[in-house]
Amino acid sequence: METKMKKDTQIVSTGRKKEYTHGVVNPVVQRASTIVFDSVAQMKEAVKNRANKTLFYGRRGTTTHFALQDAITELENGAGCALYPSGAAAISNAIISFVKSGDHILMVDTAYEPTRDFCRVILNNMGVETTYYDPLIGEGIRDLIRPNTRLLFLESPGSISMEVQDVPLLSRIAHEHNMVVMLDNTYGNGYHFKPLDFGVDISIQAATKYIVGHSDVMMGVAVANEEHWPQLRENSYLMGQCTSADDAYLALRGLRTLSVRLQQHEKSALKIANWLSTHPLIDHVRHPALETCPGHEYFKRDFSGSNGLFSFVMKAGNQAAINALLDGLDHFKMGYSWGGFESLITANMGLQGLRSATGWQHGPIIRIHVGLEDCDDLLADLEQGLQQYQAYLE
Ligand SMILES: Cc1ncc(COP(=O)(O)O)c(C=O)c1O
């Protein structure tokens, strides 16, 4: 009798068809621009099946890409997966694949900053209007929907301030109005959250983060359901989106250890988050698994776990204190990406320019990515950094 594989078995086994691996464990790295055909009949066959994992032309992918696409499609419970040279490319190309001049879209206020910039510059130039909405808007989203609203974009938890959204509710309302629903699932990474199971049409990830997992490849993925896959695939292809076979290989290698890496990130991050929660300088911690994170109830309901990324809000602060904290740390390096094995930190005095539908009525917000270093070293690092922070407060 066939039983459904458990998640950890799935990420080890998926995408390992014999035609991709030729009998070894990992897929062969098949680099190609030109595919050569020996007969007209063979070439015609390739043209006919070019969208269906048949070697046709490099931009449509080789068996290395097909292996990764199979794996991510399975991870996200979708019908197909498009690959892009970065997470930002995945977001912009997925959106452009479904809008035209005169359309209106609803974008979550907590979107990753370059997603907002893309709307402000590129969509605006195309004649597509964007309205930002509060990530916790719930039923209120109905009031923002216009006859020409074509697309609802979510990011959950949101960038920096980490609000978790009610994905099934928002998806259901959007579908009542024939909108396409997309979600930036970089945090949920397909292992801890599967947006298509909650009503989303297209789940997008910066695979750069947890899937690659080693801070050495830029890549984006977008997984669509049956209904939206042909349009996403063909429009992304028309826009020339593709990745190198070497990068596809590295992403697939990263995926194999996703579960064990996440377990360690989660364990250390929770220990640090709980410690920060009781620190006298800190107002509250925005870790989705803690009650102090807005939308925590949706996280508890929809996600199967957390990871190394979270934020905390200071009671008071100034730029000099923030600089002293950032400069004073040894293990937490300053950096914008996350999801690798290393610990990282960024800080904002407020969220000026990053929010328009909501404000920021709190103190400075600090985001950390807890890496795979020993947690005690990380705690000691933060403790001495916060002492330096305190020295700059009146
Ligand atoms: C939530 C989120 N989405 C998308 C991206 C963009 O990914 P990339 O850097 O691969 O373009 C990032 C990068 O930091 C991110 O944090």
Of 256, 287, 320, the position where a domain reaches its end is 256
282-286 β-sheet, strand order: 282-286, 309-314, 365-369, 344-348, 333-334
How many angstroms separate the alpha carbon of residue 392 from the centre of ligand 1?
A: 32
Nearest-atom number in ligand 1 for the CA of 88 is: 11
How many angstroms separate the alpha carbon of residue 350 from the centre of ligand 1?
A: 20
- Of 117, 116, 32, 91, nearest to 241 (Cα)? 91
Whether residues 33 and 182 share a domain: the answer is yes
Whether 272 is covered by a domain: the verdict is: yes
How many angstroms separate the alpha carbon of residue 2 from the centre of ligand 1?
A: 38
Q: Tell me the two tokens of residue 82.
A: 């498009």
SS (H, E, C) the chain: CCCCCCHHHHHHHCCCCHHHHCCCCCCCCCCCCCCCCCCHHHHHHHHHCCCCCCCCCHHHCCHHHHHHHHHHHHHCCCCEEEEECCHHHHHHHHHHCCCCCCCEEEEECCCCHHHHHHHHHHHHHHCCEEEEECCCCHHHHHHHCCCCEEEEEEECCCCCCCCCCCHHHHHHHHHHCCCEEEEECCCCECCCECHHHHCCCEEEEECCCCCCCCCCCCCEEEEECCCCHHHHHHHHHHCCCCCCHHHHHHHHHHHHCHHHHHHHHHHHHHHHHHHHHCCCCEEEEECCCCCCCCCHHHHHHHCCCCCCEEEEEECCCCHHHHHHHHHHCCCCEECCCCCCCCCEEEEECCCCCCCCCCCCCCCCEEEEECCCCCHHHHHHHHHHHHHHHHHCCC
CA distance 99 to 151: 8
- The set of residues, in sequence order, having a beta carbon less than 8 Å from that of 388 and lying 6+ positions away, is 324, 325, 327, 328
Q: Is 388 exposed, middle or buried (0-12, 13-18, 19+ CB in 10 A)?
A: middle
Whether residues 59 and 174 share a domain: the answer is yes
Whether 1 is covered by a domain: the verdict is: no
Task: Read off φ and ψ for residue 338, nearest 5 degrees.
Answer: -165, 175
Whether 3 is covered by a domain: the verdict is: no
Whether 49 is covered by a domain: the verdict is: yes
Residues present in the chain in total: 394
Whether residues 279 and 223 share a domain: the answer is no
Nearest-atom number in ligand 1 for the CA of 209 is: 10
Q: Tell me the two tokens of residue 174.
A: 């959007």
Nearest-atom number in ligand 1 for the CA of 336 is: 14
Note the pLDDT of residue 1. Answer: 47
Question: What residues flank ligand 1, with Cβ below 6 Å?
Answer: 86-88, 112, 155, 159, 184, 186, 206, 208, 218, 220, 336-337
Nearest-atom number in ligand 1 for the CA of 159 is: 1
What does the pLDDT profile of the chain (394 residues) look like in tens digits? Answer: 456 899 999 999 999 999 999 999 999 999 999 999 999 999 999 999 999 999 999 999 999 999 999 999 999 999 999 999 999 999 999 999 999 999 999 999 999 999 999 999 999 999 999 999 999 999 999 999 999 999 999 999 999 999 999 999 999 999 999 999 999 999 999 999 999 999 999 999 999 999 999 999 999 999 999 999 999 999 999 999 999 999 999 999 999 999 999 999 999 999 999 999 999 999 999 999 999 999 999 999 999 999 999 999 999 999 999 999 999 999 999 999 999 999 999 999 999 899 999 999 999 999 999 999 999 999 999 999 999 999 999 7
Whether residues 185 and 244 share a domain: the answer is yes
Whether residues 77 and 132 share a domain: the answer is yes
Strand 282-286 versus strand 202-206 pairing type: unpaired
Whether 124 is covered by a domain: the verdict is: yes
Note the pLDDT of residue 57. Answer: 97
CA distance 369 to 260: 16
- The set of residues, in sequence order, having a beta carbon less than 8 Å from that of 381 and lying 6+ positions away, is 329, 330, 331, 332
Whether 147 is covered by a domain: the verdict is: yes
Whether residues 384 and 335 share a domain: the answer is yes
Whether residues 325 and 228 share a domain: the answer is no
Give the total number of structural domains in the chain. Answer: 2
Ligand 1 atom 12 nearest Cα: 206
What is the CATH classification number for the domain harbouring 336?
Answer: 3.90.1150.10
Ligand 1 atom 10 nearest Cα: 87
Question: Which residue range(s) make up the domain with 385?
Answer: 258-391
Nearest-atom number in ligand 1 for the CA of 89 is: 11
Ligand 1 atom 15 nearest Cα: 112
- Would you give the end-to-end CA distance of the chain in angstroms? 69
How many angstroms separate the alpha carbon of residue 36 from the centre of ligand 1?
A: 36
Whether residues 203 and 274 share a domain: the answer is no
What is the CATH classification number for the domain harbouring 58?
Answer: 3.40.640.10
Whether 296 is covered by a domain: the verdict is: yes
Of 221, 256, 291, the position where a domain reaches its end is 256
Of 256, 276, 311, the position where a domain reaches its end is 256
How many angstroms separate the alpha carbon of residue 271 from the centre of ligand 1?
A: 25
Whether residues 240 and 274 share a domain: the answer is no
CA distance 330 to 379: 11
Whether residues 218 and 308 share a domain: the answer is no
Ligand 1 atom 13 nearest Cα: 337
CA distance 181 to 202: 7
Whether residues 19 and 136 share a domain: the answer is yes
Whether residues 176 and 272 share a domain: the answer is no
How many angstroms separate the alpha carbon of residue 159 from the centre of ligand 1?
A: 9
Whether 93 is covered by a domain: the verdict is: yes
Tell me which residues are annotated as active site: 59, 112, 184, 209
Ligand 1 atom 8 nearest Cα: 87
